Amino acid sequence: MEDQIAGGDFDYLSGFGNHFSSEALAGALPPAQNSPLICPYGLYAEQISGTSFTSPRHRNLFSWFYRIKPSVTHEPFKPRVPSNERILSEFNHSNSSVNPTQLRWKPIDTPNSPTDFIDGLSTVCGSGSSFTRHGYAIHMYTANKSMDKCAFCNADGDFLIVPQQGRLFITTECGRLKVSPGEIAILPQGFRFSVNLPDGPSRGYVAEIFGTHFQLPDLGPIGANGLATSRHFLVPTAWFEDKSYHGYTIVQKFGGELFAAVQDFSPFNVVAWHGNYVPYKYDLRKFCPYNTVLFDHGDPSINTVLTAPTDKPGVALLDFVIFPPRWLVAEHTFRPPYFHRNCMSEFMGLIHGGYEAKADGFLPGGASLHNCMSPHGPDTKSYEATIARGTDVGPYKITDTMAFMFESSLIPRISQWALESPFLDHDYYQCWIGLRSHFTVPETSKNPTLQNGQ
Ligand SMILES: O=C(O)Cc1cc(O)ccc1O
Ligand SMILES: [Fe+2]
φ, ψ for residue 120, nearest 5 deg: -90, 5
pLDDT for the residue numbered 449: 61
Residue 450 has pLDDT above 80, yes or no: no
**Ligand 1 center–CA 94 separation, angstroms:** 31
pLDDT digits (tens, 9 = 90+) for 125-175: 999 999 999 999 999 999 999 999 999 999 999 999 999 999 999 999 999
Distance CA 66, CA 156 (A): 24
Q: Is the CB of 104 under 6 A from ligand 1?
A: no
For residue 1, name the pLDDT band (cuts at 50, 70, 90): low
Please state, in angstroms and as integers, the Cα–Cα distance from residue 200 to each residue in 117, 141, 144, 145, 169, following that order: 11, 13, 5, 6, 11
| 163 vs 120: CA distance, rounded Å | 13
Tell me the pTM: 0.96
| Mean of the per-residue pLDDT values of the chain | 96
Please name the residue whose Cα sits nearest to atom 8 of ligand 1. 337
Work out the average pLDDT over 43-57: 98
Residues 6+ apart with CB under 8 A from 134: 128, 210, 211, 310, 317, 410
284-314 residue pLDDT tens: 999 999 999 999 999 999 999 999 999 999 9
Read off the pLDDT of residues 2-39 as tens digits, 9 standing for 90 and up.
Answer: 443 333 468 999 999 999 999 999 999 999 999 999 99
pLDDT for residue 392: 87
In the chain, the N- to C-terminal Cα span, in Å, equals 73
Q: Whose CA is nearest to atom 7 of ligand 1?
A: 337
Of residues 58, 232, 297, 370, which has the active-site annotation? Answer: 297
pLDDT grade for 75, boundaries at 50, 70 and 90: very high
Question: How high is the pLDDT of residue 4?
Answer: 39
CB within 8 Å of 431: residues ≥ 6 apart: 358, 360, 361, 379, 380, 381
Q: What is the pLDDT of residues 312-357, one digit of tens each?
A: 999 999 999 999 999 999 999 999 999 999 999 999 999 999 999 9
What pLDDT score was predicted for residue 5? 36
Mutate which of 321, 335, 338 for ligand 1 pocket (most atoms within 8 A of beta carbon): 338
Tell me the pLDDT tens digit for each residue of 368-416: 999 999 999 999 999 999 999 999 899 999 999 999 999 999 999 999 9
pLDDT confidence of residue 448: 62
Q: In what order do the strands lie in the sheet with 192-196?
A: 78-79, 257-265, 244-254, 150-154, 192-196, 168-172, 175-179
Percent of the chain with pLDDT over 70: 96
